[in-house]
Amino acid sequence: MLDMGTDINERSSDGTIALLQAVFYNHLSCVKILMEGGADTTIFTSQGRGVLHWAARQSADCEIMKFLLDHAVEP
Where do the domains of the chain lie, and which CATH numbers do they carry? 18-71 (1.25.40.20)
Give the contacts of 5 (CB within 8 A, at least 6 positions apart): none
Helix extents (H) in the chain: 18-24, 28-36, 51-58, 63-71
Question: Which pLDDT score is estimated for 33?
Answer: 92
Question: Which pLDDT score is estimated for 32?
Answer: 93
How do residues 13-48 score in pLDDT, each as one tens digit?
877 789 988 988 889 999 999 998 889 888 888 788
Question: Which pLDDT score is estimated for 71?
Answer: 83
Predicted TM-score (pTM) of the model is: 0.81
> What does the radius of gyration of the chain's CA atoms come to, in whole angstroms?
12
Distance of alpha carbon 58 from alpha carbon 28, whole angstroms? 12
Question: Which pLDDT score is estimated for 30?
Answer: 93
Question: Which pLDDT score is estimated for 24?
Answer: 85
Distance of alpha carbon 3 from alpha carbon 36, whole angstroms? 12
Asked if 65 contacts 40 with a C-beta cutoff of 8 angstroms, the reply is no
